[in-house]
């Protein structure tokens, strides 16, 4: 009796898998509504068909390990494809997606759920299977089992028809964005576009190199902007106290007359001469939100300090003489009694999503935080992103262009996207952005989003941060040297 119940459950599972996801997909969505699968949808649907086929083998020959193992392997592949397909669209705005929506979820999301349920059911069947359940000879199928087999064959035949019409015979393999299904051959589109070569990587398009501030070319004469006026270095000073790591950014607060220096995971408050340290802390960058390596720093309102990682994750802290070192143990590796952590989160972007940043600046006039992208091995685009200080949410993004009356010109076949901005600061309604590549300083009008001036700053070595102090700009380098130039 138990054996009969086991096969009845399996036959119902094969029947449900054939009729509901595979059958509805081909007969209702395909033949009635004209929905065609993309190449990844076909992968998911074929996987379901193979799982159902494995179920039929078990019904005929018993639950042999090789059949169950094959079912688990196919289902594991289906889970991967479901995650991959769902992951491409899951981060979109509410309601957005790809292809048909069923009960509030798109078809690829349902595929992921179906595969997970399939794996769970196979696990339950294995737990219910006894040694004597393994058949030595082929079984005679019962009425329900024979019906499940017949339904499976009809559904597969229908899928063959749809596959031939929407995908075509080899070497055609379907489309990434398929056309509407039709029984009329004049509407069939057989494509081999998915055979186009693509770089192979375990991380796909996310295999982006981390920024390296030591590699860009420094000669301004070789930069994209031709004949730049020179902004000479007025004087040089050095940070007068030891740092745990190398400087990654510099900021200045006129109200307290203090500098803020960041290292890989450290924040250092210094006096206005950069000779003495006021207080410091080393942040636990791996706790909760992964902060990566600090690349940017800024003074915010109400005494708060901002440190941003190259991955656009950030932490906001505030100096405090009453900080509870025990309560702050989880946030800081050193000086837990000198700061309180206010928040830790991530900046989300659109145009800058596939790029890292190496700078951040705060504009108290508009309560806005600005970041600037750096080029990488996949994407080269200079994008300025603005975030509202009140909720740390993206407010706008733009790609700066040259102001017509600025007297600036790009060399032939060159763009501003080549610049590698490692320091930025806001002063008088303009964003000053310093590029370590070609030692170029841009002055970007924040109202018009245009570059209104640009200068060559020769003599810099691996600059990593920029701060405005009155009519001067302070530029810090990886070696701890600070160059001071006049601000125009």
pLDDT digits 0-9 by tens, 225-256: 988 999 999 999 999 999 999 999 999 999 99
Q: Over range 410-435, report the average pLDDT.
A: 96
The residue with greater pLDDT, 210 or 324, is 324
Greater model confidence, 41 or 135:
41
440-445/450-456 β-pairing: antiparallel
Q: Which two tokens stand for residue 222?
A: 């070789």
pLDDT for 77 equals: 92
Assess whether pLDDT exceeds 80 at residue 295: yes
pLDDT score of 215 = 63
* pLDDT confidence of residue 38: 87
Torsion over CA of 234, 236, 240 and 241, rounded to 10 degrees? 110
Averaged pLDDT score across all residues of the chain = 90
Judge whether residue 159 has pLDDT over 90.
Answer: yes
Question: How far is the C-alpha of 112 from the C-alpha of 83, rounded, in Å?
Answer: 7
Cα separation, 94 vs 97, in Å, equals 9
Residue-range domains of the chain with CATH: 2-193 (no CATH), 220-486 (2.120.10.30)
pTM for this predicted structure: 0.80
Q: Quote the crossing angle between the two packed helices 107-128 and 2-17, to the nearest 10°.
A: 170
What confidence tier does 1 reach under pLDDT thresholds 50, 70, 90?
very low
């Amino acid at each position: 009796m138990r054996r009969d119940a086991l096969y009845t459950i399996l036959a119902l599972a094969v029947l449900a898998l054939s009729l509901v996801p595979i059958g509805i997909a081909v007969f209702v969505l395909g033949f009635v509504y004209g929905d065609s699968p993309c190449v990844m949808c076909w992968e998911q649907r074929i996987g379901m068909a193979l799982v159902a086929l494995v179920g039929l083998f078990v019904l005929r020959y018993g639950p042999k390990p090789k059949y169950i193992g094959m079912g688990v392997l196919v289902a594991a592949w289906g889970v991967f494809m479901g995650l991959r397909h769902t992951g491409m669209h899951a981060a979109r705005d509410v309601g957005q997606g790809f292809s048909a929506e069923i009960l509030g979820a798109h078809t690829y999301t349902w595929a992921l759920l179906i595969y997970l349920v399939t794996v769970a059911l196979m696990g339950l069947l294995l737990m219910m299977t006894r040694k004597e359940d393994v058949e030595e000879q082929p079984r005679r199928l019962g009425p329900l089992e024979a019906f499940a087999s017949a339904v499976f064959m009809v559904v597969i035949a229908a899928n063959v028809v749809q596959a031939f019409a929407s995908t075509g015979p080899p070497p055609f393999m379907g489309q990434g964005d398929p056309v509407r299904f039709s029984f009329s051959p004049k509407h069939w589109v057989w494509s081999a576009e998915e055979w186009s070569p693509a770089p192979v990587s375990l991380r796909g398009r996310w295999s982006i190199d981390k920024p390296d501030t030591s590699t860009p070319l420094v000669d301004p004469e070789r930069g994209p902007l031709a004949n730049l006026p020179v902004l000479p270095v007025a004087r040089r000073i050095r940070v007068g106290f030891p740092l745990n790591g190398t400087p990654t950014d510099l900021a200045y607060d006129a109200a307290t007359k203090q500098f803020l220096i960041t290292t890989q995971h450290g924040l250092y408050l210094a006096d206005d001469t950069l000779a003495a340290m006021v207080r410091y802390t080393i942040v636990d960058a791996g706790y909760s939100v992964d902060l990566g390596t600090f690349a940017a720093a800024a003074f915010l309102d109400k005494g708060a300090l901002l440190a941003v990682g190259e991955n656009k994750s950030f932490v906001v802290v505030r100096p405090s003489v009453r900080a509870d070192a025990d309560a702050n143990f989880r946030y800081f590796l050193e000086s837990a009694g000198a700061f309180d952590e206010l928040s830790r989160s991530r900046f989300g972007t659109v145009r800058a999503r596939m790029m890292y940043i190496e700078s951040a600046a705060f504009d108290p006039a508009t309560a806005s935080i600005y970041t600037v992208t750096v080029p990488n091995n996949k994407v080269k685009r200079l994008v300025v992103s603005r975030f509202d200080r009140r909720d740390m949410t993206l407010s706008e993004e733009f790609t700066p262009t040259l102001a017509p009356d600025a007297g600036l010109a790009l060399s032939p076949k060159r763009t501003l996207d080549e610049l590698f901005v490692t320091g930025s600061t806001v002063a008088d309604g303009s964003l000053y952005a310093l590029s370590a590549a070609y030692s170029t300083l841009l002055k970007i009008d924040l109202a018009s989003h245009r570059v209104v001036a640009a200068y060559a700053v020769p003599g810099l070595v691996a600059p990593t941060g920029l701060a405005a102090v009155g009519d001067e700009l302070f530029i810090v380098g990886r070696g701890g040297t600070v160059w001071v130039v006049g601000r125009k």
